[in-house]
Amino acid sequence: MSMSSAVHEKASPRVVVAPTARRTLDDLARMSASELGPLYATGTPPILTELDGTPRGRMLAFVGPLGHGRPFDGLRRFAESPFFPWGGKSFTSKSPQHGAGINRVRAVGDLFRFETRFGPSEVDGKPCMILDYDLSPNPWFIRKIHDELRQVSPGLFLGPAMWKTRDGAKLVLYFAIAPR
């Protein structure tokens, strides 16, 4: 075992789960929030270098009452179109445990930096990669975002996007990342 593998395993232990069918961004886009939650629970923390570069991103489903009804069905279809402003996230690993990134917004450029690290999920306490937006260059409302990622299929990463409140992080929506 290489030193970097040993360090990564110590920082973000992989949980072995039964193999599942290979999934795509389109497969996840057809799922509801109530289906994405259990899928996220079966995922494993990614290896940072697997995300290096400019992976594609897609907003998938809003959670709770926000996720239902005609307006949100339209927003979900809009998220699948080439006109949706969020194009994904760019990642750069700095070590096996830490990295950095930024969101890619079409027609505007790169906005809202984040740092990556491994830790317990706000959703279920199991290991995940955390995207930390609480950085001084970001506006206050972006600093309130808490994103996480887990690998749910080879080359496919699912994450909950949450809003930090006094009572803890509240799940708002699910998104996915797939390296090109």
Per-residue pLDDT, 154: 94
> pLDDT digits over 33-74, tens only?
899 999 999 999 999 999 999 998 988 888 865 544 444 555
The domain spans of the chain are 3-12+20-178
Asked whether the beta carbons of 150 and 43 are under 8 A apart, the reply is yes
What is the overall mean pLDDT for the chain? Answer: 83
pTM: 0.81
Enter the tokens of residue 39: 């899928």
Topology of the domain covering 3-12+20-178 = Lipocalin (2.40.128)
> pLDDT digits over 64-104, tens only?
655 444 445 555 665 565 666 677 899 999 999 999 999 99
- Torsions phi, psi of 92, nearest 5? -135, 115
Distance CA 149, CA 60 (A): 14
From residue 62, alpha-carbon distances to 28, 91, 94, 141, 153 in Å are 13, 24, 32, 19, 21
